[in-house]
Copies of this chain bind each other. A is one copy, B any other.
Amino acid sequence: MHSLAELTRLFAARFDVNHFPEKPATLYDPNRYFLQLGGKRIRPLLVLMGNELVDDIKEDAWHAAFAIELFHNFTLIHDDIMDAAALRRGMQTVHHKYGQNTAILAGDVMLVKAYDYLNLLHRDVSRPVVALFNKTAAEVCEGQQLDIDFEQQPNVQLEEYIEMIRLKTSVLIAAALKMGAIIGGAGKGNQEHLYAFGENLGIAFQVQDDYLDAFGDPEKFGKEVGGDIRQNKKTFLAIHTRDVASEAQRQQLQTLMQENPADKVQQVLSIMKACGVDEWALQLKQQYFDKAMQHLDAVAVMSSRKQQLFDLANFLIARDH
């Protein structure tokens, strides 16, 4: 088995090659530009770790890991268009740098490239892995669509929001792990527990993300806190605050969201604290984290093989930035 650092290095050594033809450069330079922005690359590592949970890394795990990372980048390129985002990882987004039409096409061809790697899979795993990949890809689109819908929807319920996050974020993490497990030769039961581990971990991660954006230590967080509040974004915190606030607080929130005063972040944060939303979020995160851990516990392999995933989960969730 490899350490997380080793897997990261091994993946980079294989993945940091030119995946695309030289021409037309107007199409493929944007793809190369975006891939070299890097990123955490957690998802492809999860494929490798899912495989290593049950066996040595097989060649197919690399193909699947490539496909997962390319798919993730495809979603980012298209999401950035939809969010009209100018920056990604501190650099210009593809549509900002190369224009929207090229960004649509660069995303499209990135997705096709992902399927090119999947087409290298051995026959015995190809069909279930591709079926899972397709199901997940459709769900990620569904999640993104729900996210768009929610912007116009005044009373998004917590359960709806959780389902959107599950689709938009969690299923890809879950699928990456399960694809690795399928390739490694894990049994159905282990595959499902790993999937559920990823699903719950993904939600815990998103709760953490929302929490840090509001209550993170600005010095450790690396960026100004309160960005979500400033943009009136629907988050775990915003939705729960609306649910538990008094009528007076609710009206105060409404006014703050409409009028955007200079001290809006401070005022919203103090309402959130008065409602105990910070504590609630930490508990919610812990709840999903515990559920994730129960599923990891239930994976029937030697504990030593699972240590890696325990460590990664703790690292992801304990982070304060």
With A104-B104, A148-B102 as given contacts, are A141 and B123 in contact (CB-CB < 8 Å)? no
Q: Are A119 and B113 in contact (CB under 8 A)?
A: no
B27→A142 contact, CB < 8 A: yes
Whether A6 sits at the interface, judged by CB under 8 Å, is no
Q: Is the CB of A145 within 8 A of B27?
A: yes
Interface residues of A in 88-146 (CB under 8 A from B): 100-102, 104-105, 107-109, 111-113, 115-116, 119, 123, 126-127, 130-131, 134, 137-138, 141-142, 144-146
How many copies of this protein are present in the complex?
Answer: 2
Known interface pairs A26-B145, A112-B141. Does A78 touch B102 (Cβ–Cβ under 8 Å)? Answer: no
- A: which residues have CB within 8 A of B? 24, 26-27, 78, 81-82, 100-102, 104-105, 107-109, 111-113, 115-116, 119, 123, 126-127, 130-131, 134, 137-138, 141-142, 144-146, 148-149
* Given pairs A24-B146, A81-B101, A111-B112, 19 additional interface contacts (CB within 8 A): A24-B142, A24-B149, A26-B145, A26-B146, A27-B142, A27-B145, A78-B108, A81-B104, A82-B101, A105-B144, A109-B138, A109-B141, A112-B134, A112-B141, A115-B130, A119-B127, A119-B130, A119-B134, A126-B126
